[in-house]
Structure 1
Amino acid sequence: MKQSRRSGAQVGGKATERSADDVSSHNAEIESVLKALADIRADMVADLDRSRPRLADIHPDYHRSARNLLHYLALRRHDMRPLQQRLAALGLSSLGRAESHVLATVDKVLEVLHRLMNPVSRPAAGEAAPVNFALGEQLLAEHTDTLLGPATAGRKVRIMVTMPSEAADDPLLVHNLLQQGMECMRINCAHDDAAAWLRMIEHLRQAERKLGRSCRVAMDLAGPKLRTGPLEPGPEVVRIRPGRDRYGRVLTPARVWLTAEASPQPPPAPASASLPVPAAWMRGLRNGASVEFTDARGARRKFTIVDVTREGCWAEINKTAYIVPGTRLRHACGAGKAHDRACRVGALPVTENVLLLQKGDLLILTRDLKPGRPATHDSAGRILTPALIGCTLPEVFDDARAGESIWFDDGKIGGIIEKVEKYRVLVRIIQEHLKPVQLRPDKGINLPDSALRIAALTDKDIEDLSFVARHADIVELSFANSADDVAMLQQQLAGLGSRHPAIVLKIETQRSFHNLPDMLLTAMRAPCCGVMIARGDLAVECGFERLAEVQEEILWLCEAAHVPVIWATQVLETLAKEGRPSRAEISDAAMGLRAECVMLNKGPYVLSAMQVLDDILRRMQAHQSKKQSMLRELHLAHLLPIEPEAGVESGDD
């Protein structure tokens, strides 16, 4: 019995020792975490002190927001992941939702850590947090209301819609969009003109009065457009081809419209081709007559005349033919001389030219806008002279360097700059495709690795600003790359009178992403500003695989600055253009809830896209608020059958 008691005492003693060791280890961990977080807080406060000159020009409405942004940037200069894991292990906030009230969040965690160390202890008083938990959300909501106007009942996230050109002459379209819940009309100054823009706005004002709703007007400055130049015209050739089934059998003959060369008339019905011929020759044609010719390939072909009218003649053909100007046509009607029964086809429209490029090809970019041309090949198909095309902003040649990447046509064609010469740049195509890809005139060029010294405001933008300042609530600054670009727009607006539209920074280049904090602080000199994540060019500039990461970081920074974000580019694009969305588009649209506004682009089914987007945003706001999952009651949780307890039998007693 004594032995048993002694053994029990030994076990109890060891348990007590382990418990004491655990407590000591736990306290040491709390103390270590407390010191690490306190050091980070000290860095945050010191960094703000060093940055106080930046705050001098900040508008009073954004002063607390600017301080919160600087605190957040100081926090994110540390790799917080190890400390986050340690905080989570202690059952504390891991700072993952600190953006809008960063110093207040750190202070609250420090307070809890102090209490864990000593229940009666409080942290030493330091600089008060500029933004507490409630104020952070309140400031973002107020700034959003100021920029984008009040939200539609039942939906916090606003919807912006880009106007198509036809909106200038279709008041019903504008009325229906406003009725569906559009809170912001976007007009792209790269298209149409001031007269068309004014009609769009007048249609909106009329719809506002009828529906009793309000809607902001945003105007997007075109900005500097780096695009491919023109190409030489393609050959004057018309291919005429009948309709065939899968076995090559003719289902429908090709219909050809013959019209007088001197006074051509359009075909009264769809035609495979329209050929200009002498009127005198055409007067000799009769129904059922045959017109023989040899096409551009040397193939002998024959038209059959099926209808003769005063405006022209219809002919049909059951074989494919290629017609060029000067092709000799001959019919056998009438008793006239042979040369009266023959004629030559007149001038034909030139075809569009394209450059065909594949991996390994050399492409020459020129400084001028002289028409480019496709590559020439020898009889074995080897390139003799590389393809050549100009670009719209030759000054970029001064900033491009060998070894830097270059992309064309929204990232479809990728290359590396091999050499920069005085009048041209040599580009080696490196992106692989199953077949050669086409490069056309007026396609975008991106130089993500090059430090381009191009001003964000063009002469056209400055000219358009006089209209924008009078009529728009928001001006979107395209291809803004630096704080100087933002300051330049502010300066231009200041010279246009007292009405200043709010500036929205379009983040669409790698440089603008890297300079976003500085650009935000410059934009915050005004009482209202915003940011658009322009994901089209941004994906090309940063790399498609990095887009998700980049857009996430933009959202974090803007939330820390209490600056509203517009989620843009290709949202429900397939639905807007084709009438049916892809599955991935639905998930992407739901991600738009992380922003304060989602932008839809134009398309024939944009009203359907509005309805779907409105439904998605309403549903998702019950589940998500910024980065935070909202744990509403989950219907699925009620659907799992409850198993009977073990040992309990069912049935009658």
Structure 2
Amino acid sequence: MNSVLKEDTISQQLVEVLDFIQARTMQTVQKWHYHTEDRTFSRDNLLAYLALRQLDIHDLQMQLADMGLSSLGRSEHNVLESITAVLQHLPTSHHIPQPSQNVSPLSIIQSRKERIYGRHSETKQTSIMVTIDAKSLEDDSLIENLLLRGMNIARINTAHDRTDDWLQIINRIRTTEQLLISKGLYSPNRHCRIYMDLAGPKIRTGAFVMKRSMIKFSPKNIGYLDSNVTNSFIKKERELDKACVLAVPYELVQRVTTGDKLMIVDERGKTREILVTDIENTRLKVQIDRKAFIIENAYIYVDEEKYQIGPTQAVQVPCKLQKRDVLRLYRDSTIIGQPASESHPASISCTLPEALTQVIEGDRVFFDDGKISGISTHIAEDYIDITITAPHIKPAKLKSGKGINLPDTAINISSLSDEDITHLEFAVKHADIVGLSFIHSAADLENLQTHLTLLGGTHLAVVAKIETKDAIRNLASILLKGLEFESFGVMIARGDLAVEVGFENLSHVQEDILCMCEAAHIPVILATQILERLAKEGTPARAEITDAAMGIRAECVMLNKGPHIVEAVEVLSTLLKNAALSHVKKRQVFTHFTKQCGIFIDEDNN
């Protein structure tokens, strides 16, 4: 085929694609009405993109690329303009309609991003969100270090802590910002946004049977006899040292002085000697001569007087599960979970029994972010028996409060619980952004919209967390509903999402979400396990570095908490700044590149 004929054929195919898109868009465009030009344009472009993706144009794309033209693989932000721009470089007898638009797609997404996440430096377009909890306040310098190293948004998870804790977190952030401004270390134009995650109807494992933990008190430990505590426990005293804190009556502390030697009888009836090395108000600092084990039946003797040591803290007895085990999942949330016995399988309850009503035999069930998986094999009135399919070799431990995912089951539960509505009142007064968890359809957004209107909270930016199979299937309608909000974004919550769609499918599902959001010009937050090892252990995995750099595709990247979270923020900030030099969304721009030696004679190859 000669080049002219080939170009005519390709031109004809492109015209057919254009006609198909316009016809499909016209069929459905009247379902959604908006009052601003930019939202109307976003609606039309998303519909055009969805119509385009209904076609298999793989061969056409390859031919366009061979001709040095755009293959339409980066057309998400402006579909019709991309196709007509290609057609203008090809011979055609057809009339090519010119898209009429007075808006810039890139300016739309930038404007919406700034409305939700704030405006930042030109060299780092992607915002950084960090999860903050009440424990974070124990470190006086943590908030300051996070702000200085690049945190733009603080995330508060309403599934944890209380309203008093949340208010303390917000107040600490605001006072720290003012302090840094006064020192000239922080721009007065910066404002760390407060993002509050509504917990939603998360299905979790119920309570498990508890037992007393055993404490091993050895000469290596720092020891305290403390009259201000009720339970005995081990705590981290310094970086490498552990302290053994034994609960004792105040009468014992009053009776002894520094240098006294006491006797301790441990759980096994073994006698050990304790030396009092210091007195600190209501507690004694002590040193033991040999190893002792304490649960709840240990005693200290002062002369002939006997004092019982307070029991150790109660801990859960976990269920150990592996392939071919049976787990009984009770519908009654008050039932206490038990490990397996000779006469009874391991059992747990569920915090949201109504979620189990539609489970049928053969449905898959996942626990603890997919660490344990199984299939429902027997449905009874009071329980469901699940045959475990993984892990295969080493048993996994299942505890209370772990997530349950039912990817094959239709769950008709509102994503906004009664508790969420209470937390929403707090968010309206104190937050900038609210996240809606476990959204299934546009109806969940409509429900949130109603409550925000009643609470006078329509000023809040709303983020839909995409973490269920239903949300993937209904993503287009969720985005179109989201365009009604003053400010709207999407979070790709990869933890539950990976379990719902299958780990092997997560990559292309994530890509689909990113592309659809780009077509609707809606800002995206990329979340879950980003630089997780670095935040928790202080050393990054190599793969998570490249994963984090992919955050440039989103408008915001979320990090979870950890002992090394400050370092993680610093590394992520650097990664995003470097990535911004060569990428805008998924488009590569030719600015920064690794210099190659020994190629061109006019370059200095030294």
TM-score tier by shorter-chain length is 0.7 to 0.9
Distance 1:527 1:511, change over 3 A: same
2:582 aligned to which of 596, 615, 623 = 623
- 2:190 aligned partner: 214
CA contact (8 A) 1:276 1:347 kept: no
> What is the SS of the residue equivalent to 1:99?
coil
1:476-625 alignment to 2 at 5 Å? Answer: 476-497=435-456, 499-625=458-584
Q: Which amino acid aligns with 1:427?
A: I
CA contact (8 A) 1:58 1:66 kept: no
2:413 aligned to which of 454, 469, 473 = 454
- Count residues with an aligned counterpart: 584
> What is the SS of the residue equivalent to 1:114?
coil
In the alignment, structure 1 residue 405 sits paired with structure 2 residue 364: yes
1:287-302 alignment to 2 at 5 Å? Answer: 295=268, 301-302=270-271
How far apart, in 1, do the equivalents of 2:163 and 2:77 lie?
40
Deviation at 1:621, TM superposition (A): 1.2
CA contact (8 A) 1:292 1:302 kept: yes
Deviation at 1:136, TM superposition (A): 1.9
Per-residue CA distance 1:565-594 (angstroms, 9 max, x = gap): 111122222222333322222111110001
Deviation at 1:161, TM superposition (A): 2.2
In the alignment, structure 1 residue 368 sits paired with structure 2 residue 332: yes
How far apart, in 1, do the equivalents of 2:428 and 2:114 lie?
20
In the alignment, structure 1 residue 34 sits paired with structure 2 residue 11: yes
Deviation at 1:456, TM superposition (A): 0.6
CA contact (8 A) 1:217 1:474 kept: yes
CA contact (8 A) 2:317 2:339 kept: no
Q: TM-score, normalized by length of structure 1?
A: 0.80
| Alpha-carbon RMSD | 3.6
Distance 1:151 1:54, change over 3 A: farther
Deviation at 1:436, TM superposition (A): 1.5
Per-residue CA distance 1:72-111 (angstroms, 9 max, x = gap): 0000011221211122233322111100010111112223
- 2:99 aligned partner: 129
How far apart, in 2, do the equivalents of 1:362 and 1:259 lie?
44
In the alignment, structure 1 residue 96 sits paired with structure 2 residue 73: yes
CA contact (8 A) 1:470 1:499 kept: no
- 2:216 aligned partner: 240
Distance 1:239 1:102, change over 3 A: same
In the alignment, structure 1 residue 156 sits paired with structure 2 residue 120: no
How far apart, in 2, do the equivalents of 1:345 and 1:207 lie?
43
How far apart, in 2, do the equivalents of 1:504 and 1:261 lie?
45
Moved more, 425-434 or 31-40: 31-40
Deviation at 1:471, TM superposition (A): 2.7
- 1:86 aligned partner: 63
Deviation at 1:275, TM superposition (A): 7.6
How far apart, in 1, do the equivalents of 2:117 and 2:276 lie?
61
Per-residue CA distance 1:502-542 (angstroms, 9 max, x = gap): 21111111211121101000111123211111111111211
Per-residue CA distance 1:278-329 (angstroms, 9 max, x = gap): 989x999x9778777883xxxx74424545999779684656x6666557x7
Q: Which amino acid aligns with 1:374?
A: Q
CA contact (8 A) 1:59 1:526 kept: no
Distance 1:174 1:153, change over 3 A: farther
> What is the SS of the residue equivalent to 1:479?
coil
How far apart, in 2, do the equivalents of 1:458 and 1:315 lie?
52
How far apart, in 2, do the equivalents of 1:108 and 1:425 lie?
58
- 1:177 aligned partner: 146
> What is the SS of the residue equivalent to 2:111?
helix
Deviation at 1:273, TM superposition (A): 7.3
How far apart, in 2, do the equivalents of 1:481 and 1:208 lie?
37
- 2:166 aligned partner: 197
Moved more, 304-313 or 361-370: 304-313
- 1:380 aligned partner: none
How far apart, in 1, do the equivalents of 2:168 and 2:226 lie?
40
Q: Which amino acid aligns with 1:375?
A: P
CA contact (8 A) 1:506 1:532 kept: yes
CA contact (8 A) 1:303 1:315 kept: no
In the alignment, structure 1 residue 227 sits paired with structure 2 residue 204: yes
2:430 aligned to which of 462, 468, 471 = 471
- 1:5 aligned partner: none
Q: TM-score, normalized by length of structure 2?
A: 0.86
- 1:427 aligned partner: 386
How far apart, in 1, do the equivalents of 2:110 and 2:228 lie?
67
> What is the SS of the residue equivalent to 1:480?
coil
How far apart, in 2, do the equivalents of 1:561 and 1:42 lie?
21
> What is the SS of the residue equivalent to 1:375?
coil
Q: What runs of 5+ residues in structure 2 fail to find an aligned partner?
A: none
